[in-house]
Each structure stands twice: as structure tokens, then as C-alpha cells.
Amino acid sequence: MRILGIILVLVFGVGIWQAFSFYHSINESPDQLEEKAKQVAGLNKVDETIHYHGTNGAYVVFKGKDKDEDDVYSWVPEKKGSTVTKKADEGVTSNVVKSNLTERFSPSKIISIKPGIEVNQEGKEVLVWEATFVDENDRYTFAYYYFSNGEYWRSRSIKQS
């Protein structure tokens, strides 16, 4: 009986240690990726951190300023892949996407509009704006617009239960 108690305490202790390690690794990752963005992309200042989970993996997108004080976006992969950095004026704003979204879909509720990376039919990475919203049929919808010009690319809908 005493051995069983010792085993339970050890299992419980290992569980707590693993949970703490997992939590700690999640909290450190964005900071490490921010440093990578500052080094690789030349960001001097980070104003906003955006998490994006696409079909090609997870990215952290940093919006900030480069050494010339220009507004830039930097897409940094959480695992493998290369960092992509674009000046904000090389693409459209989220407000342009919101306007295009409203015109095309008439959403009942817009949840978010954020920059991301997807893979097109040719297998190439495409910079996009992902608009997440509830449409007029009460479906949870993801619509993708090209980052460069704000044109509609594709969408996917999921019926809510």
C-alpha cells in the first residue's frame, strides 16, 4: 500500500512538471519568434503580435516598424519554413478587406481579420488576409483575400451546431 502511494505521488509530480514545462514553452515561443523577426526581418519595434494557424502550419505575424520607421508585417513560422517580411504599403489594410467582405458576403458578425500565409493550387505560399465571420446562414466562415490587392481568393464554411 505504501509503494502504491509513492508511485501515485511520483506520477502526480511528473504530471505537474510536464504541465509546467508545456505552459512555459508556449509562453516563451512568441518571445523567441519576436527575436527571430527582429534579427531576420530587421524589425526595430513590434506593435502587434498575431497568431495564425493555416494549412501550411502555424505562424506568428508581427506588425511593427523597420529600421527606416516604415510599417511592416513579418510572418515567422513556428516550426519550419522561411520568414517573410513585407512593408505594409505593399498590401491592403484590414479595412479594405472588411469592406470587400461586407460587399461579397453580408456577414452577420465579423470575428476577426488577420494576415496569414496559405498554400495555393500550385503549392506556393500566398500572403493572405483571413476573415473569420458568421454568414447570413449562421455558418462559421473563413474567407481569404490576397494581401497584395485585397481580391477575394476562396472561402470555407462550417455549419454551427
Segments making up each domain of the chain, as ranges: 29-90, 94-159
The confidence score (pLDDT) of residue 30 equals: 61
As a whole number of angstroms, the distance between CA 40 and CA 82 comes to 10
Q: Would you say the C-alpha torsion 19, 23, 24, 26 has a positive or negative sign? A: positive
Q: Give, in words, the CATH class of 29-90.
A: alpha beta
The confidence score (pLDDT) of residue 125 equals: 92
The confidence score (pLDDT) of residue 1 equals: 73
As a whole number of angstroms, the distance between CA 90 and CA 120 comes to 20
The confidence score (pLDDT) of residue 96 equals: 97
Strand 109-119 with 125-134, pairing: antiparallel
The confidence score (pLDDT) of residue 71 equals: 94
Tell me whether the CATH fold assigned to 29-90 matches the one assigned to 94-159: yes
Q: What is the DSSP string of 33-86?
A: HHHHHHHHS-EEEEEEEEEEEETTEEEEEEEEEETT--EEEEEEESSSS--EEE
The confidence score (pLDDT) of residue 15 equals: 64
Question: With respect to CATH, is domain 94-159 assigned 3.10.450.40?
Answer: yes
As averages over each run of 10 residues, the pLDDT of the chain (161 residues) reads 75 65 52 69 84 89 91 89 91 97 94 95 94 93 97 92 71
The confidence score (pLDDT) of residue 45 equals: 86
